[in-house]
Amino acid sequence: MNVLVVDDSAMTRMIARKTLKSLGVTDVRDAEDGVVALKMFEEETPDVVFSDWNMPNMDGLQLLKEIRQRNQDVPVIMITTEGSKPKVVAAINEGVSDYLVKPFTPATLEEKLGKWVGATS
Amino acid sequence: MTATATATATTQVLNPLIQAARDTFGLMLDSQVIKGDVSLHTIKDEFFPLTAVIGLAGAVRGSVCLSFSRELAANAVRQMAGIEGEVDSDLLRDTVGEFTNVIAGSAKDMISDEVSLGLPNVICGDNVKITFPDQACAMRARFDTDLGPFFLVFGLEAATIEL
């Protein structure tokens, strides 16, 4: 399984990597913003994308739009601290697959992985 | 906007921020947060060496700050990343910023949909002076955890939208 994690926080990326590793996922790439993530996405299509919402350079919503222009099928799960209705509606309109609320636990990350890409280990 | 509206906004914001701090430390660090006294914040009040500031706009506007002791930031990184020894300064700053982002974002959800958050900025040094909007009733609270102490400081004023 190939997972792309996008978050401007190095700590969050580190936690996601550690958690995914504990779930048996070893093929993890990470990016600090949407610009870097889109380049990685184009180089190799991941099985699932976990993306933060608020990031510099290119935010998660813009990244979602760019990904959907290239691929309609890859699950894109927005990692967010907030669930404001206008933002949720905007993301639904752009084809978001699901949400992961920060702070997340290994169990919730595993649940999302299982839901969108099948068993993790 | 009136003083009453700002006082109401301050009250309505305080409890969600405290709850969000407790939830975040509980989930991310498995650490219990003990709240100390809440008081008015003045320009002379001190901060810990690592302070993250995040701006809020919309129904309420102003800033929320989280100020971490180095001890707390380093212990948080060690625990979350599963590492030992010295922690890189960039990672300390990043961690304080991310905690502030998560706590402010979680609290925002309990306050209003009509509030938007900026990105956190992290300031290093304990001789920090942060000013808040003129009409804000700036508050501060000290918290203690088993990993170290932190301050929550915020100053928000109500805009024209009713909360």
A57-113 tens-digit pLDDT: 999 999 999 999 999 999 999 998 876 677 788 888 889 999 988 888 888 999 999
- ipTM value: 0.79
pLDDT digits (tens, 9 = 90+) for B134-144: 778 899 999 99
CA gap A91, A65 in Å, rounded: 9
Residue type, A12: T
In chain A, % of residues over pLDDT 70: 95
The confidence score (pLDDT) of residue B149 equals: 94
| Residue to test with chain A: of B17, B22, B23, B28, most A Cβ within 10 A | B28
Q: How many CB contacts within 8 angstroms connect chain A with chain B? A: 61
CA gap B158, B1 in Å, rounded: 6
Q: Answer yes or no: are the C-beta atoms of B149 and B142 closer than 8 Å.
A: yes
Angstroms from B78 CA to nearest CA on chain A: 11
| Residue to test with chain A: of B113, B114, B121, most A Cβ within 10 A | B113
Upper half-sphere CA count for residue B36 (Cβ side, 13 Å): 13
The confidence score (pLDDT) of residue A121 equals: 47
Q: Which one of B98, B104, B119 has the shortest CB-CB distance to A12?
A: B98
More confident residue, A88 or A3: A3
What average pLDDT does chain B have?
87
Angstroms from B118 CA to nearest CA on chain A: 8
| CA dihedral for A33, A30, A113, B82, sign (positive or negative) | negative
